[in-house]
Structure 1
């Protein structure tokens, strides 16, 4: 039998945790309220345990776990579908929330889920490295995006990520519109996270003004779909 490790993460109430993870496709394998609240969840080869503390503040949580998976894109789509069904939209701000898959400077491709307990699940591509990854964007604005994602998605410093993107766009005003699109989509998402909905709408308007030909729109279909979803969340 191979070795395995199971993280035990804190939460205020297991009643908040169970339905959230069930929306992600996890199953409850054990639950108790006394003598102390405890919850066990499993999804495929992923095991997560939680203990409840009534005085716990999710905003102050330092709980974190790295999940290594074969395909971060497939898992994101499965998680996203469950969260859209559960919440009626994709939660991209506050607690809980999910980030879209992005490569980050110095790290592998992946995304993050922040659960109702404030715990960060860092979903990472198994066996991938920044140098080996196919399609890594090394353009001027591509490198800006890598740095911004490192600040916002890996470190949780959304304000710094916004500054990195805004500086990059100002520094490279002549960059092709197709390179600007991913940065503007991320910028809109970051503004939603920080509650700056007016600035998010402004970034989305900048996206609408981009000059993209049909081939570029096909290649950037996922980014355009993300922008449309963000706009829909602002209008709902």
Structure 2
């Protein structure tokens, strides 16, 4: 994110669509934001603020929030993981769980990740990203040439999962790599399998979970090593 510099000479304020300004503002208040503007007539418009920035919302008649997958914005923060934990805690406090599917939802953030996506009640995808170079470096990891087949597959799969929220393509990437696992490092194959198991669990694919676990048991990787690797694929 180093290409972005903060300047108040020009200030752009995107306006995100909402199905209901009241419902949308209430949702963001639940997550710790403050309403700074609210209008319901003659048209619906609202603003919430937190951390020195604002989200603006305008009512769109007939908006299908379940199908709204094309609007959103980026929010650059100091520590995306800390923000994730706080927002997840607020979800649990008010709804009893952290939704990872449907609308609203939060993506599954893993240890060491630099971003997550929060989809609000109107279907807007608000992407929280840690300030600094790490986010770009993690994206570029998939383009490195001098790496093993398994490490390449992991980097590409993480790009699909964490940057594009595409679990299906992430899973397909790992499945292709696993077909060529015979000459690869057992520890690297184990890491691919553990990530594939995490994806299969997220997609409720019990059959694939069982298949991957069966392969995992045949690798001969020590249990403590598996536990250490598996920590990278647990939602924080």
TM-score normalized by the length of structure 1? 0.73
In the alignment, what sits opposite 2:3? none
Q: What is the RMSD of the two structures over their aligned residues, measured on CA atoms? A: 3.2
Q: Secondary structure at the match of 2:75?
A: strand
Query: 1:16: Cα distance to partner?
Result: 2.6
Q: 1:206 deviation in Å?
A: 5.9
Q: Which runs of 5+ in 1 are unaligned?
A: 192-196, 230-236
The one-character-per-residue Cα deviations of 1:35-76 (angstroms, maximum 9, x if unpaired) are 111111112123101111231112134212011111111111
Structure 2 Cα separation of the partners of residues 93 and 49 of structure 1: 24
**In the comparison of the two structures, how many residue pairs are matched?**
212
Partner of 1:76: 84
Name the CA shift for 1:85/1:218 in 2 (closer, same or farther; >3 Å): farther
Which TM-score applies when normalising by structure 2? 0.73
Which sections of structure 2, spanning at least 5 residues, go unmatched?
1-5
The answer on 1:223 being equivalent to 2:233 is yes
Report if aligned partners of 1:41, 1:48 keep a CA contact under 8 Å in 2: yes
Q: CA deviation at 1:86?
A: 2.5
Question: Which one has the largest radius of gyration?
Answer: 2
Q: Which residue of 2 aligns with 1:143?
A: 152
Deviation at 1:203, TM superposition (A): 4.7
Matches within 5 A, 1:71-220: 71-101=79-109, 109-129=114-134, 140-172=149-181, 175-176=186-187, 177-189=190-202, 191=203, 197=204, 199=205, 201-205=206-210, 210=216, 213-214=223-224, 216-217=226-227, 220=230
- After superposition, the Cα gap between the structure-2 partners of 1:155 and 1:215, relative to the gap in structure 1 and judged at 3 Å, is closer
Aligned to 1:57: 64
Contact 1:141 1:183 in 2 (8 A): no
Tell me by how many angstroms 1:34 deviates: 0.6
Q: Whole-Å Cα distance in 2 between the matches of residues 15 and 204 of structure 1?
A: 42
